[in-house]
Structure 1
């Protein structure tokens, strides 16, 4: 039997709140109706999903598994609906998401030379938004930085860049031309990755304080709550009077990848991938952002 997406949405609401009344209020339906839909879903699947007793609602093993699988399923359905709506309107538009420090303009300029009829819009995204926004269709293509959950995605490495230490201006190493990881051992760290970050990716064991986005990171570093690490491109896009950037040559480089939902098959998306890869090659040859930008604009003419 096919899985009913409406029942699945109802189940997710109950599973997240573990309370039928609150889930019914969120869904704007009567609680008895919700209970009947959940029982019908359990019958469809041939397995109990929830345990209901005087202590409340808990998930069974089958319920926990369904909750894990439900997110990508519902996101895929939402994205399919959005793409059909866009196709029906005849829109020629790409929404490109990008992480802080990534320059999208060179690729957009190259792409526009081949597809002048396609509007390319851009949107800044954070680490914890990368996979969800691709899967639910809010962005069509993403310039992403690992770590990222690649489930349901096609992820292609694009380029790497050195990382720098982000230090308070009064830090003992702020005046150095470069530092090593050993120099920074034991420093408290303001960590700016998404919630999926794995401990093995932390630069040192003191990683703990997490900020969302570069702006928050700089504010916390300036306040003396710790140091941080960013891709070198951040030094072009972000500055702060109480923060300095110092190269760390022995630190593992930062990686930028292109990502798209695995279900997306489009010549237009393939062409944007090609433009992004060509722009990245210009970046590698030029060696700095200013030349990268000029190279991308020149190639598009």
Structure 2
């Protein structure tokens, strides 16, 4: 059985439709059907139940799908790792960065990468913490920087690399803006605008829990949105507040104030696949396990 045939079978198993799978593979439907029948003859039994509206996997098909994915993934890793050694100048490291991370963070990681493998190219993908976890799960990034807490699959792991203090973000017109710092009990009368929970449920709940632990009677707004949209809305809603880092103070019309006496802290972590054989990733994990100092620049 050839890798090409395994790719054909995986496409049909995922699409559950020969025509759609053939379009995805840029081959004709009869050719695809013939290749699947060749595989079935080789394994000695049907892999698919063919119907008028599509196909279903047999028990044997389910087994082959799992194995085929593993084989194709191993083949891709083998090619990528061999190419990285044979052509170090063409090596690509796929880095995922959570939305809203400090601007210095990807640059610091890229510098660590290039110190260990000069000439490596960095492919950067941004998204929410949930997005980064899914990219890792599908082996579409080598290393992902995300916010904790986050739920990861069993074959994924992480190490904390940096902390960042969060505080209250608000319009300059908000009465709380006159204070140099804010006691949590004072924010209870102000509507809190948060990013949408669906974007990062664990982080969303952690921030609310930390606020409540500090004595804040939080009144959560229905205006769930992205962090960027929150920053756009706050200048228009002087009575509302948000949660963010001191970096948000550079947004026109907004100010940032720390919480006292206990600061609110968010942790960034680097996550990776535990079954990876990428030697560059292993050296990066060793370098990052000591943490990265938060920079003011």
Same fold per superposition (TM over 0.5): yes
**In 2, distance between residues paired with 1:93 and 1:267?**
12
From 179, 182, 185, the counterpart of 1:178: 182
The alpha-carbon deviation at position 87 of structure 1 amounts to 1.8
User: Larger deviation: 83-92 or 61-70?
Assistant: 61-70
Partner Cα distance (1:111, 1:89) in 2: 16
Pairing partner for 2:83 from 77, 82, 85? 85
Partner of residue 240 from structure 1, selected from 217, 229, 251: 251
RMSD of aligned Cα (Å): 4.9
Q: Name the structure 2 match of 1:125.
A: 126
Give the number of equivalent residue pairs.
Answer: 275
Give yes or no for the alignment of 1:256 onto 2:268: yes
Determine the structure 2 residue equivalent to 1:158. 161
Q: Does residue 98 of the first structure (1) align with residue 97 of the second (2)?
A: yes
Is residue 23 from structure 1 mapped to residue 26 from structure 2 by the alignment?
A: no
Cα distance between partner residues in 2 of 1:163 and 1:125? 21
Residues 221 and 34 of structure 1, relative CA distance in 2, 3 Å threshold: farther
For the Cα contact (< 8 Å) 2:8–2:36, is it kept in 1? yes
**Any idea what the Cα deviations from partners look like across 1:168-193, whole Å, max 9, x if unmatched?**
66667565633649727874533276
Tell me, which stretches of 5 or more residues in structure 2 are unaligned?
Answer: 210-219
CA contact 1:143–1:257 (8 Å) conserved in 2: yes
**1:299 aligned residue:** none
SS of residue matched to 2:81: helix
Structure 1's 37 and 126: CA in aligned 2 closer, same or farther, altered over 3 A? same
Following TM superposition, by how much is the alpha carbon of 1:36 offset from its aligned partner in structure 2, in angstroms?
Answer: 4.1
How far apart are 1:23 and its partner, in Å? 2.3
Q: How does the TM-score come out when normalised to structure 1?
A: 0.62
Q: Which whole-Å CA distance do the structure 1 matches of 2:273 and 2:38 have between them?
A: 31
- The alpha-carbon distance between structure 1 residues 45 and 279, as it changes in their structure 2 partners (threshold 3 A), is same
Runs of 4+ displaced beyond 6 Å: 42-49, 63-73, 204-208, 249-252
Gaps of 5+ in 1: 294-301
Contact 2:110 2:122 in 1 (8 A): no
2:146 equivalent in structure 1: 144
Q: Give the deviation of 1:30 after TM superposition.
A: 1.6
CA contact (8 A) 2:235 2:254 kept: yes
Once the two structures are TM-superposed, the CA of residue 21 in structure 1 deviates from its matched residue by: 1.6
User: Secondary structure of the equivalent of 1:190?
Assistant: coil
Give 1:15 shift: 4.7
TM-score for both structures, normalised by structure 2: 0.62
Distance 1:101 1:52 in 2: 48
